[in-house]
């Protein structure tokens, strides 16, 4: 995987070091051309993010979580067909997931695209199970849609990078993901409420351990999971000043991040939503 370096200076007079700004050097796990592709198309495919033992650790951790939350899983499957089981707050539930806090192959790209002041909006998972065609797919949707029409003069466009990391091969059996390139820039349109293909869509398939980075407002849908379970992690990055997602529910009171924050450095605290916005 080719890399390049970027340097930023954050002009913040509240810098604890007493400097006019904090200097950041980012070792970006992508080429400038790949970043331009991400900006224009709204997605970037990354193969081989996790391999061998690293991939198996994630699979085992998610399988253990699935077993511990089997009641929530069954309720989710029965109550919201198509979306499967979506466990959230993963970093509070297993050390294996907490280790992804500073996962540079995705974090460095988020910082290259949105600047160094980014936070994790969350780490969640989505598990879909083999079933009938219509029951195990998702309609066209976006993850972060808060755009006014018409646009106000000082409109602040929301940006988010969702890293969809697949723990199983993404294929005909598990269900590919379809995207519409460039649709993250359509500020005057809403996603259609349909499961059907639309003009311009592209179907993406990756091997287990690979992923797809998408802008949060890219139009996308999950194709049917027909013959094999599909497990996906979602690492979401936003600017530090964007509010936390309301969809995750209450954070576990005994979550691992509470203890972790006691000795966390400035960067780790910022990634967990404790700074970087004033």
What ranges do the domains of the chain cover?
A: 14-271
Question: What does the alpha-carbon distance between residue 150 and residue 101 come to, in Å, rounded to a whole number?
Answer: 37
Could you tell me the two tokens for 221? Answer: 């849908």
**Segment 181-200 mean pLDDT:** 93
pLDDT value for 56? 98
Decide if pLDDT at 240 tops 60. yes
Residue 222 structure tokens = 């999950």
Query: Region 97-107: what's the mean pLDDT?
Result: 98
Cα–Cα distance for residue pair 140/232, rounded to 1 Å: 18
Give the residue with greater pLDDT, 35 vs 83. Answer: 35
Q: State mean pLDDT over 62-76.
A: 83
What CA–CA distance (Å, rounded) separates 256 from 272?
Answer: 12
Across 243-268, average pLDDT: 87
Confidence category of residue 1, pLDDT binned at 50, 70, 90: confident
The segment with the largest mean pLDDT, out of 71-85, 125-139, 215-229, is 215-229
**DSSP strand pairing (230-239 vs 21-28):** unpaired
Distance of CA 98 to the CA centre of its chain: 15
Percent of the chain with pLDDT over 70: 90
Facing residues of 164 across strands? Answer: 212, 234
Q: Check pLDDT > 70 for residue 213.
A: yes
Higher pLDDT, 71 or 75: 71
Please give the full DSSP string across 22-64, using - where no structure is assigned. Answer: EEEEEEESS-HHHHHHHHHHSEEEE--SS-HHHHHHHHHHHHH
Q: Please, what sign has the CA dihedral across residues 208, 100, 236, 28?
A: negative
Judge whether residue 52 has pLDDT over 70. yes
Q: Is the pTM of this model over 0.95?
A: no
Confidence band for 74, pLDDT divided at 50, 70 and 90: low
Q: Output 167 or 81, whichever has higher pLDDT.
A: 167
pLDDT at 209 over 70: yes
Candidate CATH numbers 2.40.50.1020, 3.30.420.40, 2.60.120.620, 3.40.309.10; the one for domain 14-271: 2.60.120.620
What angle is formed at CA 80 by the lines to CA 186 and CA 86, rounded to 5 degrees? 75
Asked if 259 contacts 214 with a C-beta cutoff of 8 angstroms, the reply is: no
Beta-carbon contacts of 235 under 8 Å, excluding residues fewer than 6 positions away, are 100, 103, 106, 120, 123, 162, 163, 165
Which uninterrupted H or E stretch holds 35? helix 32-41
Please determine, for residue 53, whether its predicted confidence score (pLDDT) is greater than 80. yes
Q: Note the pLDDT of residue 14.
A: 57
State the greatest distance between any 2 C-alpha atoms of the chain, in Å, as a whole number.
61
**β-pair type (211-215, 220-222):** unpaired
Query: Residue 123 — very low, low, confident or very high, per pLDDT cuts 50/70/90?
Result: very high
What is the CB neighbour count within 10 angstroms for residue 3? 13
Least confident of 58-62, 68-72, 141-145: 68-72
Q: What mean pLDDT is predicted for residues 172-199?
A: 94
pLDDT at 242: 87
Q: Contact, 48 vs 209, CB < 8 A?
A: yes
Q: Give the H or E element holding residue 221.
A: strand 220-222
User: In this predicted structure, what is the pLDDT of residue 81?
Assistant: 61
Q: Taking phi first (over 0 means left), then psi (-120 to 50 degrees means alpha), and beta for anything else, what does residue 76 get?
A: alpha
pLDDT of residue 137: 86
- Residue 199: predicted pLDDT: 95
pLDDT band at 186 (very low <50, low <70, confident <90, very high): very high
User: Which residue did the predictor score with more confidence, 20 or 198?
Assistant: 198
| Mean pLDDT confidence for 145-155 | 86
For residue 108, give the H/E element and its range.
helix 104-114
Distance in angstroms (rounded) separating the CA atoms of residues 19 and 240: 20
């Amino acid at each position: 995987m080719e890399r390049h370096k970027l340097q930023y200076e954050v002009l913040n007079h509240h810098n604890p070091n007493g400097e006019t700004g904090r200097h950041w050097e980012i070792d970006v796990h992508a080429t400038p051309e790949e970043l331009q592709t991400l900006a224009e198309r709204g997605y970037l495919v990354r193969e081989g993010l996790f391999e061998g033992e690293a991939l198996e650790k994630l699979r085992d951790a998610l399988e253990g979580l699935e077993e511990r939350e089997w009641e929530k899983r069954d309720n989710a499957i029965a109550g919201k067909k198509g979306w499967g089981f979506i466990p959230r707050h993963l970093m509070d539930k297993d050390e294996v997931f907490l280790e992804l806090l500073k996962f540079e192959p995705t974090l460095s790209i988020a910082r290259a695209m949105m600047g160094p002041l980014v936070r994790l909006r969350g780490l969640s998972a989505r598990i879909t199970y083999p079933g009938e065609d219509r029951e195990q797919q998702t309609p066209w949707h976006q993850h972060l849609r808060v755009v006014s029409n018409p646009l106000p003069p000082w409109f602040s466009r929301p940006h988010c990078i969702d890293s969809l990391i697949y723990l199983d091969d993404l294929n005909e059996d598990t269900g590919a993901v379809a995207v519409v390139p460039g649709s993250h820039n359509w500020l005057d349109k809403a996603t259609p409420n349909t499961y059907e293909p639309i003009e311009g869509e592209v179907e993406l398939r990756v091997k287990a351990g690979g992923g797809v980075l998408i802008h949060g407002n890219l139009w996308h849908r999950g194709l049917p999971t027909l013959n094999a379970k599909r497990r996906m992690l979602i690492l979401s990055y936003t600017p530090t000043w964007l509010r936390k997602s309301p969809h995750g529910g209450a954070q576990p009171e005994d979550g691992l991040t509470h203890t972790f924050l006691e000795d966390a450095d400035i960067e780790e605290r910022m990634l967990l939503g404790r700074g970087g916005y004033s």
